[in-house]
Amino acid sequence: IIVGGGHSGCEAVNAALFHNADTLMITHSKDTIGVLSCNPSVGGVGKGILVKEVDALGGLMGKVSDYAMIHYNVLNLSKGPAVYGPRGQMDRYIYRNTMQKVFNEYTMKHKLKIIDGSVDNLITKNGKIQGVILKNGQKIYAKSVVITTGTFLRGEIHIGTQVRFPGGRISEIGTERTCGSLADTFYNEFKFEMGRMKTGTPPRLHRNSINWDILTEQPSTKFIEPFSFEHDENTFYGTRVPHSQPHMMCYETETNEKTHEIIRSNTDELADEVRFGNGPRYCPSIEIKVTRFPQRTSHRIWLEPEGHITNKDEAKKLPYNHYANVIYPNGISSSLPPEKQLEFLKTMKGLDQVEMLQPGYAVAYDFVSPKVEISHTLQTHKCQGLFLAGQINGTTGYEEAAAQGIIAGMNAAIYARGDNEPFILDRSEAYIGVLIDDLVTRGVDEPYRVFTSRSEYRLMLRADNADLRLT
């Protein structure tokens, strides 16, 4: 059983099926399988190598990313190949819909079932997992269970100090810690060592309200290399990739002193859990950037499309709320009250007439201490057959979640069939090995993300040789 349909859950299901296991995915809604919750991009420094490694192990993220890609560049291109960071901007809905199409086909061709539901509790016996209990009381038995709850484990959304409600993603319910709930089982029955983390997302902007003519263009890299090694010779859903979607232009703007003044004067409008919680160090909110680096007079912001269009005239003909009209302002995550977010947005170049489609918000959620509670297979020490993957282990990022998902899925299938040889990657073999080893041996006190600097073998663990290392 795989609980959750995010990036970790998707890769776990795919890996389990690859090992010929009868597999059940339980998710709040089939419509949210493969959703890009925050930035619709995949890859980056360190992260791009993870995507390549997941692909080399038979994973899905690279293939689906190539198909949905609408912008591509390589970070650190002026440095050596060991630190290249391939990064693709996705059409948010093509990515989600393609992933869902894959899983719909899996249900017809492989041993996969998918049900909508919420896991309320776990069934255990003599320290071993036996199955799950759904919120409606239904019991489902299995030899192994992979939990990939993401930000939904006692998740709580914050916008300013006045707006606060349960959830791991806006408009979706969270897993509240109530009597008999999954979170309560972790706390009280297993007595897992747990903590609290936070993350955030920026406001979404309307394409037609931005003055693009005065902004700096950020075109795709001329040479586009697929994330998936299979795409050199094969096609995906009948289309050769990664040129299947028309590539879009990204743009650059920046904050200024007026922006910072508005933010500084309203930091008391942030919830305490947001102000003092443990958030991702390398993806801080704009409030943290402004207060932590007072000497900076500006911060660069990238305006990235969430969907593809062929030209500006086409955008004007789309319905107002069409997803292709949505712009993601990368670098300006915020959970200030909506009116304050709009106020500081309008101080920035090209955004003086901007319309905000959705305010930014912060999410606080529970995680399990990986150093104390899990092994290198991602199986928990206190319950045999129970595996944890993704943000529940204290990581942040789609790619880190996918990497854990494929390892947890493999080992859950191996455990279920009674094999005694788990699949573990060493630090010298892959960034996936670095990621899991760091979690298990060093632990986390903030959301963990992969960087090339974390690996002592980075000269050998490159994006271009992931297939030679792992396939």
Is residue 133 within 8 A of residue 124, CB to CB? The reply is no
Is residue 38 within 8 A of residue 447, CB to CB? The reply is no
- Residue 356 and residue 454 in one domain: no
Last residue of a domain, one of 362, 386, 411: 362
- Residue 12 and residue 139 in one domain: yes
Q: Is residue 276 situated within a structural domain?
A: yes
Q: Which residues contact 117 (CB under 8 A, 6 or more apart)?
A: 26, 27, 28, 134, 135, 136, 138
Q: Say how many domains are in the chain.
A: 2
Query: How buried is residue 166: exposed, middle or buried, by Cβ count under 10 Å (0-12/13-18/19+)?
Result: middle
- Residue 144 and residue 24 in one domain: yes
Q: What is the pLDDT along the chain (471 residues), one digit of tens a residue?
A: 999 999 999 999 999 999 999 999 999 999 999 999 999 999 999 999 999 999 999 999 999 999 899 999 999 999 999 999 999 999 999 999 999 999 999 999 899 999 999 999 999 999 999 999 999 999 999 999 999 999 999 999 999 998 888 888 887 755 555 444 888 899 999 999 999 999 999 999 999 999 999 999 999 988 788 899 886 555 555 444 545 566 889 999 999 999 999 999 999 998 877 777 788 888 899 999 999 999 999 999 999 999 988 777 777 788 888 888 999 999 999 999 999 999 999 999 999 999 999 999 999 999 999 999 999 999 999 999 999 999 999 999 999 999 999 999 999 999 999 998 999 999 999 999 999 999 999 999 999 999 999 999 999 999 999 999 999
How many CA atoms does the CB half-sphere of 59 hold within 13 Å?
Answer: 35
Q: Which residues contact 176 (CB under 8 A, 6 or more apart)?
A: 154, 166, 183
Last residue of a domain, one of 305, 334, 362: 362
**What is the distance of C-alpha 168 from the center of its chain?**
12
Q: Tell me, what CATH number does 162's domain have?
A: 3.50.50.60
Q: Is residue 56 situated within a structural domain?
A: yes
Q: Which two tokens stand for residue 175?
A: 């897993």
- Residue 402 and residue 374 in one domain: yes
Q: Which two tokens stand for residue 55?
A: 């692909």
Q: Is residue 375 situated within a structural domain?
A: yes
Q: Is residue 240 situated within a structural domain?
A: no
List the domain range (segments joined by +) for residue 413: 2-198+365-470
- Residue 173 and residue 51 in one domain: yes
- Residue 167 and residue 222 in one domain: no
Q: Which residues contact 37 (CB under 8 A, 6 or more apart)?
A: 6, 150, 151, 169, 201
- Residue 213 and residue 308 in one domain: yes
The Cα–Cα gap between 53 and 395 comes to 17
Q: What angle (nearest 5°) sits at the alpha carbon of residue 308, between those of residues 306 and 309?
A: 130
Is the full-model pTM beyond 0.85? yes
AA letter at 439: L
- Residue 383 and residue 350 in one domain: no
Last residue of a domain, one of 343, 362, 381: 362
Q: Tell me, what CATH number does 327's domain have?
A: 2.40.30.260
Q: Is residue 242 situated within a structural domain?
A: no
CA distances from 164 to 26, 168, 222, 272 (A): 27, 12, 45, 12
Question: Strand ranges (DSSP E) for 118-176?
Answer: 119-125, 128-134, 139-141, 145-147, 156-159, 163-166
Q: Is residue 313 situated within a structural domain?
A: yes
